[in-house]
A = this chain, B = another copy of it.
Amino acid sequence: MNQVYIDKLIETMKQNNMDAMLISPSAELKFFIGESPMLCERFQGLFIKTDGEMFYVCNLLYGGEMKNFLPETVPVYTWFDGDVMTEVVGKVLEKYGLKGKTIGVNTSAQAFNVLDLMYQTGVTFVSGKKILEEVRIHKTHEELDGLRAAAHLVDEVFKEVLEFVRPGMTEQDVKDFLFEKMTEKGGYDLWAIVACGPNGSYPHYTGSGRTIAEKDILLMDFGCTLNNLCADMTRTVFIGDATEREKELYRIVKDSNEAAEAMVEEGAFIPDIDAAAREVLGRYGYAETLINRVGHGIGYLIHEQPEIKASNPRKLEKGMAFSIEPGIYIAGDIGIRIEDIVVINEKGEREILNKSSKELIILK
């Protein structure tokens, strides 16, 4: 059990008038207890109360596993498939004095189960996302080292994928290669967006069937978890050749990325960083083509706090870790993104964790 963070969480819950937190299976549960079971449609999760009491509720089929995962001080209550889940869980919540109380939920909690419980048991559920993220927003030295190692892993894989990619391969071929190489190096919870040609214009493109053609643009946004901490990097490269327009747009995105990264320092106002990236794009008439935030926090989850956006009016502090990833997206036409993970390190200095080149790369 990660007692340091559990204590921090309890402190933060108290400040926010929350009586307990429900943490469903996820990287977040693993962060607190060291393990996470499979999440199917059967309600389960760890409850952490502000008085320090903890208990776990799950379907009987997970009971044996959860007893192995948890210390004896955390009882496991089970419901059976033949039971009405809300009745069994309702009794447990009542036993722990949670009836009529407010319980936060983490991001993996399923709405249909939480709503059923809320209407049947007289408990109020609210989003616990921000509180859970606040608890781990300042990364320790060990966590920063974990992020460095994860970033190094994807940097190494990027070198290899540049040697691998050839016209005639599909996006799926490149994805498979990235997965294989990240796995070889100890990565897990793998993901990759591989988008060629106009597909890169959809920032979270999920397809994989297009064949890479000569003169295509190829956007690769990929990452994994290494020892519980996440990596996330994007580079956009050119196959065979790049047009003048493509080179120009690439240079603008690179300038935007570098302008935002140059603003990163302890005490910097987050909206200013977002603005710096947009200002460069705007200078060339591309202000409207950055259709998302400039960055997201990263750590135990791939997306967490601090978000780098205009509507997050806070200052950067020591230990914060986040992406800087401006892009130009013109739907159905072209997409270019350059993304690094950047931290305010132990010395309070800006440190860019990804070392992969951002110079224009044309693969011949």
Interface residues of A (CB under 8 A from B): 36-38, 40-41, 59-65, 67-68, 80-84, 105-116, 119, 125-129, 201-206, 274, 291-293, 303, 307, 309-311, 329, 331-332
Assess whether B105 is in contact with A115, with CB atoms less than 8 Å apart. Answer: yes
Residue of B nearest to A105 (CB): B111
- Report Cα–Cα, A64/B292, bound state, in Å: 13
Indicate how many identical chains form the complex. Answer: 2
Assess whether B40 is in contact with A81, with CB atoms less than 8 Å apart. Answer: no
CB distance from A103 to the nearest CB of B (A): 11
A127 contact from B106, B115, B204, B307, Cβ within 8 A: B115
Assess whether A204 is in contact with B292, with CB atoms less than 8 Å apart. Answer: no
A129 contact from B60, B112, B291, B293, Cβ within 8 A: B112
CB distance from A267 to the nearest CB of B (A): 22
Query: Which of A201, A206, A329 has most B Cβ within 10 Å?
Result: A206
- Report Cα–Cα, A181/B129, bound state, in Å: 39
**CB neighbours of A114 from chain B (8 A):** 111, 114-115
CB distance from A203 to the nearest CB of B (A): 5
Residue of B nearest to A327 (CB): B61
Residue of B nearest to A308 (CB): B81
- Report Cα–Cα, A81/B303, bound state, in Å: 13
A sample of 18 more A-B contacts (CB under 8 A), given A36-B206, A111-B111, is A37-B204, A41-B129, A61-B292, A61-B329, A64-B201, A64-B329, A80-B292, A81-B309, A82-B274, A82-B309, A84-B311, A105-B112, A109-B110, A109-B111, A110-B110, A111-B115, A111-B127, A119-B126
**CB neighbours of A37 from chain B (8 A):** 204, 206
Residue of B nearest to A303 (CB): B41
Residue of B nearest to A84 (CB): B311
Assess whether B291 is in contact with A38, with CB atoms less than 8 Å apart. Answer: no
- Report Cα–Cα, A204/B59, bound state, in Å: 11
Assess whether B82 is in contact with A293, with CB atoms less than 8 Å apart. Answer: yes
Known contacts: A59-B292, A80-B291, A125-B115. The answer to whether A107 contacts B105 by CB under 8 A is: no
Assess whether B204 is in contact with A40, with CB atoms less than 8 Å apart. Answer: yes
Assess whether A61 is in contact with B107, with CB atoms less than 8 Å apart. Answer: no
Known contacts: A64-B329, A205-B65, A332-B64. The answer to whether A125 contacts B107 by CB under 8 A is: no
Residue of B nearest to A293 (CB): B81
Assess whether A41 is in contact with B311, with CB atoms less than 8 Å apart. Answer: no
9 contacts between A and B (CB under 8 A): A41-B129, A41-B303, A59-B292, A64-B202, A82-B293, A83-B311, A111-B111, A111-B127, A119-B126
Assess whether A112 is in contact with B84, with CB atoms less than 8 Å apart. Answer: no
Assess whether B105 is in contact with A64, with CB atoms less than 8 Å apart. Answer: no
CB distance from A273 to the nearest CB of B (A): 13
A38 contact from B38, B110, B116, B206, Cβ within 8 A: B206
Assess whether B204 is in contact with A38, with CB atoms less than 8 Å apart. Answer: yes
Residue of B nearest to A104 (CB): B112
CB distance from A185 to the nearest CB of B (A): 15
CB distance from A31 to the nearest CB of B (A): 16
**CB neighbours of A61 from chain B (8 A):** 203-204, 291-292, 329
- Report Cα–Cα, A36/B105, bound state, in Å: 25
A204 contact from B65, B201, B310, B329, Cβ within 8 A: B65
